[in-house]
Amino acid sequence: MENRTVETAKRLVSVIICAYNRKEMLDLCLQSVLSQDYANVQIVVIDDNSNDGTSEFIKAKYPSVHLITNATNKGPAYAKNQGIIASRGDLLLFIDSDVELIDKSSIAKMASLLVLDKTIGEIGGEIQDYSDPKNYSIIGANIGDDGWPVLVSLSNSEKDKPKECDYVPTSNCMLRKEIIHQVGGFDPYFFYPAEDTALGFEIKKAGFRNVISADAGAWHKLSQQSRIHSYYMAKRATMRFLLKEYGILRFLSIELKRYFSPLKRQQKLREIDQKAETEAFDNSLNNKFAYFFALLKAYLWNLFYLPQTISARGKNFLTSKEMKRYKKPLL
């Protein structure tokens, strides 16, 4: 065990944080990283064209942080790829700027598990409800038949019992750099959300296990500012995921089943859609017309970008050629 601990401590962990107008939350996030008992850490912050003085704040308070400042907003997936390229560690930890690492040994524990078990692709998990610090759940996700995420949870009391899932949200996710290069990084044309869904899917397809761990949970505050997605953005990303990973025929089959499947299956799909619709209506969709307009817009967006979606299969988005040619998709 001692040899394993020494071996792990030698590994440089690059902590990659994408920030967009969350200066105060980012400050708390960085404090939680710097409070870790794992010293061999590089911190990379990508300021994705914030207008709240994020870059100036980082330069003044955290001069040791490797800061990348984008002149235009590129989107979270592209920014994460920038962080991968700038990283020096062979272990990468992605955390969101509204996340706090609650266990001072989180990085050490995740790194140790990755060093110990080469079958693990991603490890991590987010805590969405931290109202009771003694009793909470760590969240990961599976991918439903229709592409929507199905949450997977693990009690904080279930130590040393990592639970497998299809993907670990990159709000708190550690993996080996060699693996993310193997699968070609994040697909930036997802923009947001579903970029972590697609990454986890590719990692599992490459033969690795993705797991959530009670030793690795991080409190994700889910800020109202930008973490509540519109139904349009969620639907658009889900459609693109299905088209890219499953193909046009399976996509059409899933969409047709949504409306014409036997009652029991149709009801299940409707329940998932209705949950997303309810969240969307609470925040941006005020009537049924707006909902159907958002749905139609998602279909049209994916039709417009279909050639790009198909050509993205198997592509390495970390090459200098792909980084240079990227153009932010129309929203």
Strand, helix or coil for residue 105: coil
Compute the distance between CA of residue 221 and CA of residue 330 in angstroms, rounded to an integer.
28
Look at residue 281 in the predicted model and tell me its pLDDT: 47
38: Cα separation from own chain's centroid: 23
Look at residue 227 in the predicted model and tell me its pLDDT: 39
Alpha-carbon distances of 131 from 36, 134, 156, 161, 173, rounded to whole Å: 22, 9, 13, 23, 22
Query: pLDDT 10s per residue in the chain (331 long)?
Result: 445 555 666 799 999 999 999 999 999 999 999 999 999 999 999 999 999 999 999 999 999 999 999 999 999 999 999 999 999 999 999 999 999 999 999 999 999 999 999 999 999 999 888 888 888 889 899 998 888 889 999 888 887 789 999 999 999 999 999 999 999 999 999 987 899 999 999 999 999 999 999 988 899 987 444 433 477 888 899 999 999 999 999 999 988 887 776 554 445 544 545 555 445 444 444 556 777 888 899 999 999 999 999 999 999 999 999 999 999 888 7
Look at residue 6 in the predicted model and tell me its pLDDT: 52
- Count helices and strands (H / E) in the chain: 13, 13
Closest by Cα among 47, 59, 49 to 19: 47
- The overall pTM is greater than 0.85: yes
Look at residue 255 in the predicted model and tell me its pLDDT: 85
Alpha-carbon distances of 102 from 14, 130, 172, 217, rounded to whole Å: 18, 10, 12, 7
Compute the distance between CA of residue 57 and CA of residue 144 in angstroms, rounded to an integer.
41
**Residue 29 C-beta-side C-alpha neighbours within 13 Å:** 28
CATH numbers and ranges of domains, the chain:
2-220 (3.90.550.10), 231-325 (no CATH)
